[in-house]
């Protein structure tokens, strides 16, 4: 059986493309550039207008997701799947941005805060769904309790509430200047 040079070149090209796509999915460096790109974007307003004012939840938080079995590479994983690794979320004046630094999965949306409640909306993964949560910030740790969130077959709610989120902001001015504080993994 004779194989043409053209067939070999096509096969090698396809192999290289597949290998490069897998490395980009699991490369740690690309998630930081994705984060930088995400910070430049504004959420699209599908339903609820963005309330552009400071809130009690504003800030950057990280969590280390608990491992739920084996992480399987996939081209179209479910949105908001709590894959293991470091997650970073940034709440800023009515817009939130979130990324899993291990997989590079990211999302963006808006939120409204009232006392100890937060309403998430305008998420491109679930444009018609609203997520209502109770939240508590104590000792620079943010915890969510799901009240109702059907987004991504309820994966957003289980992801946000599965583990506490640690603040990336230093506890005081001295710690900010000297960087003598236990900065959580994943903070920049």
How far apart (Å, rounded) are the C-alpha atoms in residues 90 and 63?
12
Question: What is the model's pLDDT at position 3?
Answer: 61
Question: What is the model's pLDDT at position 167?
Answer: 98
111, 50 contact by CB (below 8 A): no
How far apart (Å, rounded) are the C-alpha atoms in residues 49 and 44?
9
Q: If DSSP codes are grouped into helix, strand and coil, which group holds residue 141? A: strand
pLDDT tens digit sequence for 26-71? 444 578 999 999 999 999 999 999 999 999 999 999 999 877 666 6
Q: Which secondary structure element, helix H or strand E, spans residue 60, and what is its range?
A: strand 59-65
How far apart (Å, rounded) are the C-alpha atoms in residues 97 and 155?
16
Assigned token pair, 130: 């609203």
Residue 156 CB contacts under 8 Å (≥ 6 apart), including other chains: 79, 80, 120, 123, 125, 126, 131, 149
Closest by CA to 105, choosing from 167, 45, 30, is 30
- What's the CATH architecture for 28-178? Beta Barrel (2.40)
Question: What is the model's pLDDT at position 65?
Answer: 86
Q: For the whole model, what pTM was predicted?
A: 0.81
Q: Which residue has the tokens 């990280």?
A: 62
Per-residue pLDDT of the chain (188 residues; tens, 9 = 90+): 566 665 555 655 554 554 444 444 444 457 899 999 999 999 999 999 999 999 999 999 999 987 766 666 777 778 998 888 999 999 999 999 999 998 899 999 999 999 999 999 999 999 999 999 999 999 999 999 999 999 999 999 999 999 999 999 999 999 999 999 999 999 98
Beta pairing partners, 106? 99
With helix as H, strand as E and coil as C, how does 84-129 read? Answer: CEEEEEEEECCEEEEEECCCCCEEEEEEEEECCEEEEECECCECCC
């Amino acid at each position: 059986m004779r194989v043409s040079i053209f067939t070999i070149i096509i096969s090698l090209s396809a192999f290289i493309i597949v290998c490069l796509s897998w490395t980009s999915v699991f490369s740690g460096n690309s998630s930081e550039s994705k984060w930088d790109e995400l910070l430049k974007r504004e959420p699209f307003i599908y339903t609820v207008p963005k309330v552009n004012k400071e809130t009690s939840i504003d800030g950057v938080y990280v969590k280390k997701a608990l491992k739920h079995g084996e992480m399987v590479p996939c081209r179209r994983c479910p949105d908001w799947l709590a894959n293991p690794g470091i997650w970073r979320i940034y709440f800023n004046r009515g817009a939130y941005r979130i990324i899993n630094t291990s997989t590079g999965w990211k999302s963006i949306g808006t939120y409204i805060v009232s006392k100890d409640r937060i309403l998430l909306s305008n998420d491109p993964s679930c444009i018609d769904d609203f997520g209502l949560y109770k939240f508590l910030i104590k000792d620079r740790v943010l915890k969510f309790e799901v009240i109702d969130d059907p987004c991504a077959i309820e994966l957003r709610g289980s992801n946000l509430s599965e583990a506490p989120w640690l603040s990336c902001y230093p506890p005081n001015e001295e710690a900010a200047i000297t960087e003598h504080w236990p900065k959580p993994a994943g903070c920049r």
